[in-house]
Amino acid sequence: MDPLRGRNLDVQDDRQPNPVTPAVAPAARLDALLTELGLARESTEEGLLPVAPIEPARLLQTAALLRARGFMLLDVVGIDYLDYVLRKPARFGVTYNLYQPDTNERVFLRAYVEDGQHLPSLYPVWKSANYLEREVFDLVGVRFDDHPDLRKVLTPDDLDGHPLRKDFPLGESPTLFRDGRFLDPAAFRAGLTGQQGGLTGWRGGERKGLAPRAEAPVREPKGGES
Amino acid sequence: MTVQETDTRSGSLLHTETLSLNVGPQHPSTHGVLRLVVDMDGEYVTRVVNHMGYLHTGFEKTMENRTYQQNVTYAPRTDYLHSFGHELAYVLSVEKLMGADVPERASVVRVILHELGRLASHTVFFGTGLLDLGALTPFFYAFREREAILDLFEEVSGYRMNQGYLRVGGLSRDIPEGWAQHVSDFVNGLDRHIDEYESLFATNPIFIDRAKNVGVIPKDLALDLGLTGPNLRASGVRLDHRKANPYCGFEQYDFEVPWATEGDSYARFMVRAQEMRESAKIVRQALGLLRPGPVKDPNRKISLPPREELETSMEAVIHHFKLVTEGFHPPVGEAYVPVESARGEVGYHLVSDGGSMPYRLKIRAPSFVNLQAMEYAGVGGQFADLITVLASIDPVLGDVDR
């Protein structure tokens, strides 16, 4: 074939048969897999997902076993169970969404950790853990040991706290930025509109920047000044 | 900065330094606000670091503080190019929690909109992707079709991009009269237009030079990185959730899953071109399956009662009041329904505590995970290849940052 012409446009031509992932993943086979790994489904009324709790110490080893079976890590979900209706073993549940594309099996592993407790990073097993664990660290505040680059990924550097925790203050809160700029939303809005700041949705709690609060040059914007 | 003895690749004895180059966040070829810090040895890239978060607006936190029904308007705003994929993934997860019964007609309309959304997204991919490579013409061709699709969206839902047309248990309202005919007219002419795009790039020697063997992601690396969607299929894994975990009755449709084994940028372009043909095929079949019928779950605990009933039935008024003020309460539990969007697997991991708002909602954003491939596929080539790789991976920064 002329190299400049490129190859045939038809991409599903005569190459090796690669079957489309089958549409059936029997629940019994999934249970057998979990039993083989020494795990069991979470036995609560929330039975819609095959969630298997796992001790943090066994996480890395189990992940390696699943990796060897062709599972890929699709997502890491950090859940803060602070106000949850059911009693959970610990405050945070870090859920690993694992999927096998050849057999169409999906397993959710969940490691429970308390605030301040660390989890082993799964980066040595799956490279996709890199961003996903950074996101959980950023938004929920669970730390991962031996992660190559555990930095914030989504929120600004000078945001203190982890927004997806249930005790993160909601609504407008005065914010002190690292460069010393201080922003009070109500006064800021009043400065823009020339009207009263009015009530805000702020429900208590103050979001602090990295600089100490006392050093803030408190300067409320005047009307017409942004 | 490290000073190297020689520029090893060119073999000359010039003393060179590794250069760190900042790309973005305001740069047309980053498809939004993505910032890349690229370490370069001469013209060759040795390291790529992504910096995201410029569009982070806390979708997950916002959605945890809105009722399930209100969230239908938030979900599509994450991935603004294939917004229907997110909307559908969210609604399907809630329906699984609620055990809602979606009527046949609603499912068929969802399939049509889902595939039209994929077509709209892929047209942007071709337009802007080839624009990054210096080809201006395909942009105009692709946006001609995109405009036609957005007009169809506007006709059915009132919005061109972020529809918010779905309701838990069905659609917000039935499709307008004549809409099916307009869709039919559009998809019947589409194959000819896809031929036009392909004739613009598939055999274009400049494009082949810039895309073939550029940014190769081998199969094992793709699985390791958790890639999904066309990027994974271009690397030789034939995973498509429309086949693997059929939703909205996708098992009734006859379509192929395009795939390639090369894993380079050219394969990613070609797989998407084929996908557009398959989407057109699905829409044509779905139009044939469109039968008259209800478009909402009749369960009054989920769907609003019809307007006429409010004047005659006290029950209807009570249900209307409860649904509008408070919303419905799914049982305690978790749900996750994977949906094949134009970028890969979208899923909303919902945790319900029995209240009228999700206790925890996690968006599985395909662009966020796919973007990691930049740090592997972009390395080793020239800087110009990095732009090709980014265009071929097709991230949407709204989906990355959420």
User: pTM of the full predicted structure?
Assistant: 0.84
ipTM value > 0.90 = no
Give the pLDDT confidence of B294-338 residue by residue, as tens digits: 888 888 888 888 888 888 989 889 989 888 888 888 888 888 899
Alpha-carbon distance of B240 to A19, in angstroms, equals 11
Would you say A121 and A129 are in contact if contact means Cβ atoms under 8 Å apart? yes
pLDDT higher than threshold 70 for residue A24: no
Indicate the range of A20-34, A171-185, B162-176 predicted with least confidence.
A20-34
Which residue does chain A place closest to B57, by CA atoms? A155
The predicted structure's pLDDT at residue A18:
54
pLDDT higher than threshold 60 for residue A200: no
Q: How confident is the model at residue B90 (pLDDT cuts 50, 70, 90)?
A: very high
Instruction: Decide: helix, strand or coil at residue B18.
Output: strand
Contact flag B53-A155 (C-beta cutoff 8 Å) = yes
Hey, which residues does A111 pair with through a beta bridge? A54, A94
Q: How confident is the model at residue A216 (pLDDT cuts 50, 70, 90)?
A: very low
Interface A–B counts its CB contacts (< 8 A) at 154
Contact flag A21-B244 (C-beta cutoff 8 Å) = yes
Instruction: Considering only the beta carbons, identify the residue of B259, B331, B335 that sits closest to A18.
Output: B259
Shortest CA gap B353–chain A (Å)? 6
Contact flag A74-B364 (C-beta cutoff 8 Å) = yes
Q: How does strand A118-120 pair with strand B35-41?
A: unpaired
Alpha-carbon distance of A216 to A180, in angstroms, equals 6
Contact flag A74-B228 (C-beta cutoff 8 Å) = yes
Tokens 């239908």 belong to B72
Look up residue A219 and give its DSSP letter: -
Contact flag A23-B251 (C-beta cutoff 8 Å) = yes
